[in-house]
Structure 1
Amino acid sequence: MAKQASGPERNRKEPLSSVARQLWAFSGNECAWGDPHCSTRLVTEEGAWVGKIAHIIGAEPGSARHEQWDGKDVEHLRDFNNLILLCAVHHDLIDSSVARHAYTVEYLRAVKHKHEAKYRYAVENIEAEFRDTVDGSRVRPAATMRRYFTWEGVALEPSEEQEMLDLVNRFAGRVGCLTRMARQVLALVVSEGTPDFDLVRRRFSTDRQTLLSVVRELEKAEMVYLHDEEFDEDRGQLSLVSGALGGVFEMWSQFRNFCRDEDVDLKDILVGLDFSCLD
């Protein structure tokens, strides 16, 4: 454990390179500020770096929010959880002597969490993406869907339950044929309704052509459709279609509501291919 430093300019240390890379990976190349949303790119089209790393709890005595530090481990001050990646304007704003009082530790942590959560799809599953490529997608089908039927609260005949089980497992097989990124996009659309194409592109930190390829994959699988706005795909919206579910469109909302009520991560089912979560 690092010892507490003393004297001026002893607490402030440069972020570790691994922490800086993690901040960048979760940034989506945008300032983390979200109220209102700041779309300032951290790397300009010319390749200039204009982002700044800010401390949530200030490192030095007299700096913004330093009084919230417990005074124990200096290394915690440059930990990933205490740093936020901002544009120059918002970096200076939260540390300004006339404005810093308006930006508490709790507020800035919430800003950081909300922004970074949008981009974790593209980062947290790198190892799983590699595993998919090497081993192939492995679907764990539902065996009984008893948990789902109990949650639904509708009495079905055994033949009706079997029909639903067969439908879901056929769907599971089709989901298992998708690439991981397509499954991630599908999970996002099921969770959030009809997100904008450009929002999804930024969420996954990907380029337009790559996302279009994924959308075409989902369209072919009869799961997601891109509604272009006046032939401008970047301004279009992604919507669900139910061909892969035998035309039972309400199953999309059923999956979403079941996961919410039963505290199941929808990504475990649609991305991790674990349909046994329904049992």
Structure 2
Amino acid sequence: MNYIKLVNFEVQRFLKLFVALVVFVSVAQIIAAVSSAWSYNNRAETIMFQEKLLMNDYVSKHGNYSMVNFLNEGLFQLSIAFAAAVLIIYVFFIWYRDWFGKSSFIYRLLMLPTERRHIYFAKLTTILLFVFVLLGVQVLLIEVAELIVKSILPAELYAEQGVIFTYSYDVLEILFPQSMLGFLLSYGIGTALVATLFTAILLERSFHLKGIILAGIYITLSQAFLFTPILLQMNTNYFYMSEILSMFVVTALIIFVVAVFLANYLLKRKINV
């Protein structure tokens, strides 16, 4: 129950900013859908008028509009990058706010009658919750974008694509893996990286100037270990791709366990109230 209360507390602290982020991403992608569809439609009408083409002739010669056009829109890609950047910044902010904010709130958290590791897991869970909520919002936005595009373009100019094709394109393939192994790879590595950064922050907070050096060494070693499967394959060329990906999942799991173990030690032994 203490862990759940801590998660709820962390969510509430970031909720207003997160809602603002969701609104920004939504508005940006809706504008991207309208802009790309109108731009394509205007260009098509101009070319058809100049070259005296029918719609079918235009499509045969110049190609039709598909959701790939929307996914290639700069504003769409910017919204994804911006959301990712905000969450990465929050990985640091979620800890340093407690130390450098009003009244050094971290000490009040550490004095709560609960295991200190619950604070670590609550912050990690909060980051993951926001990531998965954003993914859910992104699914809805793609559907909304498709409806907008269909309402602007004549049916002859729009090419229907399957869901699998849409989600196999570019960044969506990483955000929405199509297999369990792909999901474990993308979000297992992501979770391990966040846990590594959390632990690096605790190293810095525990040892200060020396902690910066220790955190840098720790991050470097963790990343080197994570990419061990690639080095192994480069030297042996022995494993299938599925085996390489499975090894990535295992290395990410090991990195995560080490990060949690080290963070728990630092919270218990090195960070005093």
Same-fold call, TM cutoff 0.5 = no
Structure holding more strand per residue:
1
Q: TM-score, normalised by structure 2?
A: 0.26
Higher relative contact order (CA 8 A, sep 6+): 2
